[in-house]
Each structure stands twice: as structure tokens, then as C-alpha cells.
Structure 1
Amino acid sequence: MSPSHTASLPFDLKRPIIGAPMAGGISTPELVAAVTNAGGLGFLAGGYKTPHQLAEQIIATRALTSGPIGVNLFVVAANDVDEHELETYRQELKYYADRYGIEVGTHKWDDDSWHGKLDVLQDLKPDVVSFTFDCPEVEVLDELNALDIHTAVTVTSTDEARIAAERGAQILIVQGTDAGGHRATFDPAAEPGTEPLPDLITAIRNTTDLSLIAGGGISTREQVRTVLDAGAAAVQVGTALLLADEAGTNSTHRSALQDPTFTETKVTRAFTGRPARGLRNRFMDEHDRSGHAYPQIHYITAPLRAAAAANNDPHALHLWAGTGYRTTHTGPAADIIADLTP
């Protein structure tokens, strides 16, 4: 199937730009509304929030825009972890905790309030709901689709795309290897793919007629055009918005993105147990983990990361960023979206 047969999105946008959902406070209602008001589609990140917090953010975003908004949820699978390995890692990290005068976090598993958040979505009905880390069961997608909520699943391979299409997703969000933050691989133990994004789009385009949104390392107008030409109906950007005025990016993260001493990005499992790309720092290099205990490791390191941000320590903080971080710039989100639009 050629790019000329690209399936259009089931909703209208003035600009083919999607603001990626960035958990941890970055995707504020102000940022989401600004992207939508600029003609794109902004996404709230539901990850790590309580259902009540998510509901509040959806309501706050609705008050700032009359355009469409999206919400993203994590699909967290149960796992079988090595308790001894996790405790060993906790002890390894006591060095950081002692330095900040805090305690290392306790590892646990939860489903990120899955059912409570689905209830919120069914009640407040955002225009689009996307899913990351796995594909929901058929029943979940059917229930949302029946409420006229467009459903999207983030995929990183043709196999994942087939699963999402078979279960009833209306849109596929194709995540390339250069994306910042967590990789969306369904299997957290799998090594992230290395296929260039245009090639991955083409491969998935040849397996499905579903609308495709694609992103990963996109930071220039020329790159947006390349992705659209490869067969995507829209481009998803996250790193490009990290320095936007409306973004909730903490000051330590903002400074690091503009610090010339950070010269590359790297994929690591050290912060959360899932592969994620960020600015390469000392914590990554000192804790080269291959384990995939998510969200257990997330909870172990969460207090350390919060303390690192509070103490302006970029070398103990997860500085999520895609490979195009050097071209990010400050300013209103509307100007950033306009600059990216071909």
C-alpha cells in the first residue's frame, strides 16, 4: 500500500501535529489545550495519576479549549519478578538516598488504577483515548468505540500493529526508535527495535488500512514532512514541546536540555524497569540494568528522582528526551507547532 492510500484520521485537524502525552507532570492542561488551539491535538497523560486527578485535568483542559483532546493510559501487565534482585537494587541505591536524606522507595506492583480511569473516560468522554505498553482487550476498545471515543494503540512493530487492529483499535500510533521517554513495546523484556521510522511506517502501512500517527525523534519541519510522506496521517511530537512555556517540565530537566555537556541520549531500564530514552547521565552509566520489573523499579527510584529534581541534580534524574532534543526551543506551544507544520 503506497502513501497515496494513507487513511485519514477519523477527526479533523487544521495541523497534522499531535502533542505526545508525557507523564510526570509535563503534559499540563495548559499545554494540551495550547496544542489543540494551535490546530493540532493535545494529549493528557493519565499515567501515575489517580482517577480523581485525571478527571480534574480533563475538566480543566475542557475549560481551556473547545477543540478535541486526547487522554493516554498505561496498560500495565502483571509480571513475575525476582524479589532478591529488586532488594539488591534497593540497597545499591541507598548511596543516593543517604545523600538526599531520604529513603529508597519500596517496590510494588499495581495496574495504575486501570478500572477507575476507564470509568473516568467513559464518564467524561475525551475525543480520543490512546494506550501505551500493551493493547487493551477487545471489550475495552469496543466499549469506548461505542461511546464515540476514538481509540488508538501505540505500537512499535508490525506484530503489535496486527494485534491492535484485530482487537478493534481505530488508530495506530507508530513509535520509532528515536522517541524520548518510555518505549511502548508490549513485551517489556524485548529489546527496542532499530528500524528507521519511515521504514516502520511503510511496513505497518502494508498490513493495515487503519489511520497512522507516527513519531519518534521528530523535531523539524522537514522530519514532519518525511513522516507524512511515508504514510502517516499525522505526526506525534513530545521532545519538541518539553521547553514550551505551557509544559510542566521541571527546571532541572529544562536546564539539562539546553546544557552542552549533555551530548547524547541513551535507552535505559535503570529508572523504571522499562526501556526509556533520555539524556545520558551518570545514573544511567552506573546502573546498566537488563531487568524489566515495571512498575516495581519505578516505585523504588521515584523518591530519588523527586529529590534529584528538587536538588537540581541532573545526574540522578530521568531526563527523558528523544534524539532530536538539540533542536528544541523555548516559547509558546502554538509557535512550536507552527514551526513544525509543513
Structure 2
Amino acid sequence: MHALKKQGYKVQGFKVGPDYIDPSYHTVITDRDSRNLDAWLMGNNGVIKSFINASKDADISVIEGVMGLFDGLSGKNDMASTAHIARLLKAPIILVLDASKTARSIAAIAYGFMKFDPRLEIAGVILNNIASKKHAEYCVDALKSINTRILGVVERNKDIKLEERHLGLIPTGEERIRIDKAKQVAESISEKLLVDEIVKIAENAKALDYKIIERKKDEVKVRIGLALDNSFNFYYADNIDRLRKYGAKIIPFSPIRDQLPEVDGLYIGGGFPEILAEELSRNSSVMKDIKDAAYDGMPIYAECGGLMYLAKSITDFDNNRYNMVGLFDMEAVMTKRLTLNYTYANTIN
């Protein structure tokens, strides 16, 4: 994305699946809100509509995949995988292959991906984690034997590694230095890519035959408070856009620093309240106001970290317990076990 933007293109970023953190890096690099493409949450039509709407004033769109190309909802099919999204959007695929601990075998891996689903267009590969010039030569020679287009060779470099925590990369909004590091990594990798070849692949992508009927934006009807700071920043841009389209004025506020604004409802998304639990617990006045507003009938939608915030307390990884809003008679306790999956839930009265 950085390489394309550096050449003057307006780049629209996308991320396959339910990921809030990676899109924050896209947004920093492209200066445009990145969008999620999740077939499980949005349905096929929702994916196509979001892609077209976000791409219409961009020069080129780049979709970052999720996990392996065919990894999705289950092992039985590729529902909600990168391959699924690529088929929906008729998008050519560039494989990024981890070449560490392999040489000629990299061609067998690439060949397997290319033949596994003949409906896909795998337009080329980028070799990652290359150890040396000789290692690169072995891999390139092997890939030439299967007529694969090589679009970049990225050497192993521990100096451009990005920091992670238990959910993956650390969101860009937490520290200015993290944004600078992301741009440094992007610049380093962009120098290794054949950008002109990548542009040609995009120019030859098949057109999408899909008609979108735009809904007229409603007049402002309600004010919705949006918890937005270092503790809560996991939001899908499409959701915020949809609220605005249906007549909501979005009022951002920080549960760490601010008082509760005058609003008709609250939206508290995910984030890392367990990392900033001490800071959140200090703002007892906003927590009391949120609890009182709920008892007075104000609608509140909270998910993930936002739901933890509405609990009685959060106990962090060091077993420190901090008081929270107390709207629900439950406690959130962080453990070492990480569970990531799609989940169906039934609501009860």
C-alpha cells in the first residue's frame, strides 16, 4: 500500500475477516479508512457492496488476507476465507510465501496453492524471510520452473519487526512512535517490490457486474456517544457510516479522560480495557453517569472490551482487580488462554 501511495496512487485498503488492528495500520499508511470484508458477518452481497462503495474514488484497492489463503470458518470449505473473498470480487491474488527453512520446496508450496482451486487467479508471489542472496537464487530458480511471476523478494530483517501483544499487533493509535515504526517498515518493504508489475495485475482484474442503489442520508435524529480512545478503538468503519446514514450524529468521547456527553445512546466497542484498566477505573464519574443513564433507559450497545467495561470489574494479567461500571453482575478476568473464532449466540429475555 505504501509503495503504491508513494507513486501517487489513491490506495484503498481492506482486510479479510473480523480484524480491527491490521486495518488501523492500513489507515495510517493510506490516509483512508480501511474496511473489513467478512462474508460470515456481512454476507456475499454485503462484501461486494462495501468493496465497491469504498473503492469508487480510489485508484487501486489492496486486500490483505487472513491466515492462509483457504483458511476460513472450518476445514470443510473455504467460507469466509481469503479465497472466498477473492472469488466474490474476481480479484487476482498475490501470494506472500514464507521462504524461511525452505528452498526448492517453495515451488511445490506455490504449485499446490495454484492448483488447489482452479477458479482462483494467482497472479504472482512475493518471497518473504529470505536469508541470503544464495537463498533467494534457489527460491527464484525453483519458482521459474513452474512459470510463477515473482513480484518481490523480502530479506529477513529483525530491525523492522512490529510489536505484538495477546491479540496480535498493537493498535497504531496508542503511541506516535508506533505509527513512525509502521511507516519505516512499509518503506523498507516497498523497496523490494516490483510495483509496476503489481499495478498491471490490478489493471487487468475482471470488472464487477454489480449495481448499487444508494440510500439517501437521513436528517440527524439522534446523538450517539462513541467511546473512542486508547482503551476503546475497535470499530468497523462501515458500521459508523451506516449509523450516520440513518440519522445519527456521532459524538466521540474518552472513558479515560472525559465526562459523558449529552447523547441519546452509547456505542462502546472493543479495544484493550484490560491494559488500561487502572486509568479507566480512575474516571469514576463517567462510569457512574453511564450506569445511571442505563437505568434511566438509555440504549447502550457494547461488545468485546466494551462489555468488559460494563462489568463490575476487570482483573488484568498481573491479577490486579479494578472497578468498572458495574452495570452487569459479572467480572472480567484475563487468562493466558486465547480463543478466537466465530460464535453464534441466542438472545434471551
**TM tier, smaller:** 0.3 to 0.5
The structure having more radius of gyration, on CA atoms, is: 2
TM-score (norm 2): 0.36
Structure number with higher relative contact order (C-alpha < 8 Å, ≥ 6 residues apart): 1
Higher strand fraction (1 or 2): 2
TM-score (norm 1): 0.36
